[in-house]
Structure 1
Amino acid sequence: MQRIRNSAFLGSVHSRFDRTVNVQCTENGELYTIAACTIDNGPNTIVIRAGRLSGLGIATGDRVYADRAMLYVERKLAVSIADAAAWKSALPNYPLDDRRLRRNLIAAKAFVELEGKNGGMKRAAARDNLFDAEVSKRLEERSSSLLFALSKGDTAGARDHALTLIGLGPGLTPSGDDYLLGLFTIVNLPNSPLRRYRPLCADIANEAAGLTNPISHMGLIKAAAGQVRESVVELLRSLTDGDPEQAIRCLKAVLNIGSSSGTDIAMGLIHGLELIAQHRWR
């Protein structure tokens, strides 16, 4: 927002979808997102009033620039930030007394089992699609190995197992990436016993550059620094401070992310919280 106000933002359209346009900044190479109003707040994202962005003729490579608090995509879209409110990802503390969290976690896990999307981290039935079932099996095996390594304090092993997840699975942001995004978020919770693994998350995210697509890679970079979408933050707040009904309501919003991305992220969050609760590291 400061770059736009100072007429200092310059970039080009990296990719475009029905409700989002991703812009790559010339200065730092990061991806920024112009999102329709049906998308929640997130890192490097400006949410505009439009319901969708398709039909504007925006194309990959279009020039994006700022001029006096306005962001332009060629002559196809002009966005004013004059009345925009800043949003930051502020994760809740891992509670000193986690009994409420444990109860909410049981409800959330059961809901994902019932309503989560199959085929990614949630295993698909072999009778439905053999390929999907095999991918899910590998995701489950590799994520279990990662969690075991973390529980034993095996940083090198955790790194190796995490890297085998990157780029694995269906979706624009592969399931393994989305799972790691959820797990990285738990590592970054204030007071989390897993916070000692924050440098490991950053290393894994940096190494992901050549293993997955730029959109997914940027999500991992941000999650490794504790920056995630508002719906994920609200889910964590409801798990730590709310009741099961609130947790399920917020979980539904996360499960609606993408095709299987929401389920994969939710499973990363749940497994990370379970890892803390089960091992009582504090």
Structure 2
Amino acid sequence: MTIGTRPRARRAPARATARTNVSGAASAALRPVLDSPRKPARVLAAFPAGLYLEVRTELEPHVIAVLTGEATRLPNAVVLAGELPRVTVGDEAVVGDGAIEVGRISLRARRWWNPAPPLGSADPARLAQAAPAMAQICRASSRRPGLEHNGAAEMLADGCVTGSLVGMITAAEHLVGLGPGLTPSGDDVLAGLMVALRHLGHASGAPRAVWLADWLAAAVTFDARTRTTPISATLLHCAARGEASLEVLAVLRGIAGRQALEPALARLLTLGHTSGADLACGLRIGLDAVLGLTAERAA
């Protein structure tokens, strides 16, 4: 056998995967993460209408939702102007320097929205009218909260209505991470409550409601990453700052009389298996607490 002496031709170096530049609309909550230096990330979950990226960072939101226009616009989301990239759970990504690189796309935000727009002032009498209306709509709905008749949820409501910080925090400790799914029911109730206390407290001139929201936020977010799912932990951090999905914000506007309440609440109740009903439960607890605190202040 003859051995050739001609040197073997060198292979051309592998070409980097070509990326398609796309744009989207992003929540302003993502600015700290997107504007920071590049960090590795991974695909945490992927669905037809969106995918979730977990970024290796201490900043929040550390989970970013990349969504199509049909998905629920979460407070930690970037909404694509095109189709989602084809990815699977565990795929690598990069986030930072103003961009998200995942699959074959490089995504940059060209427009921004505020996930915590202020309600402005709201008449406590208008809020009082919204409370029984919400109760009636929720009773008539086939969508039930995942923690209905749960002792911790009832303790949370009692602590908020009476303004008991100890009772509220104790109940919250039991609720973090309670329930199955990407966003456990206990977390959704707490998220709805924190958003309601903060926005309705500011709108109705009830500073103690905002004070309760601050304490609840500190307790819930302190170790959320170790007690619940990554997606839910990020959403709790968002809710602690008053940031919420468009469906939740629409219900708050309905409570304050800025738009029709019934269709907004009906839309919220359809979200997920129990997420919408759990969020509505938290909003109702927060509304009742704000009403109690404004009445106490007026007395």
TM-score (normalizing by structure 1): 0.80
Deviations 1:101-149 (A, max 9, x none): 222332222111111513613xxxxxxxxxxxxxx33x2x212212222
C-alpha separation in 2, matches of 1:86 and 1:119 = 29
Match of 1:79 in 2: 107
Match of 1:130 in 2: none
Match of 1:92 in 2: 119
| 1:254 paired residue among 268, 272, 275 | 268
Alpha-carbon distance, 1:183 to partner: 0.6
Q: Is the Cα contact below 8 Å between 1:20 and 1:36 reproduced in 2?
A: yes
Q: Is the Cα contact below 8 Å between 1:31 and 1:218 reproduced in 2?
A: yes
Q: Compared with structure 1, are the counterparts of its residues 169 and 88 closer, same or farther at alpha carbon in structure 2 (3 Å cutoff)?
A: closer
C-alpha separation in 2, matches of 1:231 and 1:92 = 14
Residue correspondence of structure 1 range 47-86 to structure 2 within 5 A:
47-50=79-82, 53=84, 56-65=85-94, 71-75=100-104, 77-81=105-109, 83-86=110-113
Q: Compared with structure 1, are the counterparts of its residues 86 and 92 closer, same or farther at alpha carbon in structure 2 (3 Å cutoff)?
A: closer
C-alpha separation in 2, matches of 1:170 and 1:177 = 10
Deviations 1:24-54 (A, max 9, x none): 2234361111011112433221011347x4x
Write the letter of the residue equivalent to 2:221: A
Alignment coverage as a number of residue pairs? 258
Q: Report which of the two has the higher share of strand.
A: 2
Alpha-carbon distance, 1:166 to partner: 1.9
C-alpha separation in 2, matches of 1:120 and 1:5 = 37
C-alpha separation in 1, matches of 2:163 and 2:215 = 14
Match of 1:129 in 2: none
Match of 2:210 in 1: 195
Q: Compared with structure 1, are the counterparts of its residues 6 and 168 closer, same or farther at alpha carbon in structure 2 (3 Å cutoff)?
A: closer
Q: Compared with structure 1, are the counterparts of its residues 179 and 91 closer, same or farther at alpha carbon in structure 2 (3 Å cutoff)?
A: farther
Match of 1:110 in 2: 136
Deviations 1:135-186 (A, max 9, x none): x33x2x2122122223444323321111111222343211111111111112
C-alpha separation in 1, matches of 2:36 and 2:175 = 40
Q: Is the Cα contact below 8 Å between 1:186 and 1:194 reproduced in 2?
A: no
Alpha-carbon distance, 1:269 to partner: 0.2
Give the secondary structure class of the aligned counterpart of 1:273: helix
Deviations 1:177-206 (A, max 9, x none): 111111111221223441111133222222
C-alpha separation in 2, matches of 1:94 and 1:265 = 23
Q: Compared with structure 1, are the counterparts of its residues 5 and 142 closer, same or farther at alpha carbon in structure 2 (3 Å cutoff)?
A: closer
Give the secondary structure class of the aligned counterpart of 1:33: strand
C-alpha separation in 2, matches of 1:153 and 1:72 = 46
Alpha-carbon distance, 1:69 to partner: 5.9
Deviations 1:53-75 (A, max 9, x none): 4xx53122322236986532132
Q: Is the Cα contact below 8 Å between 1:4 and 1:68 reproduced in 2?
A: yes
Identity percentage of aligned residues? 24
Write the letter of the residue equivalent to 2:77: T
Whichever of the two has the greater Rg, that structure is 2
TM-score (normalizing by structure 2): 0.76
Q: Compared with structure 1, are the counterparts of its residues 235 and 12 closer, same or farther at alpha carbon in structure 2 (3 Å cutoff)?
A: same
For structure 2, list consecutive stretches of 5 or more residues without a partner in the other structure.
1-29
Write the letter of the residue equivalent to 1:215: I
Match of 1:237 in 2: 253
Question: Is residue 170 of structure 2 the alignment partner of residue 120 of structure 1?
Answer: no
Write the letter of the residue equivalent to 1:248: E
For structure 1, list consecutive stretches of 5 or more residues without a partner in the other structure.
122-135
| 2:42 paired residue among 3, 12, 35 | 12
C-alpha separation in 2, matches of 1:217 and 1:27 = 14
Give the secondary structure class of the aligned counterpart of 1:47: strand
Q: Compared with structure 1, are the counterparts of its residues 144 and 5 closer, same or farther at alpha carbon in structure 2 (3 Å cutoff)?
A: closer
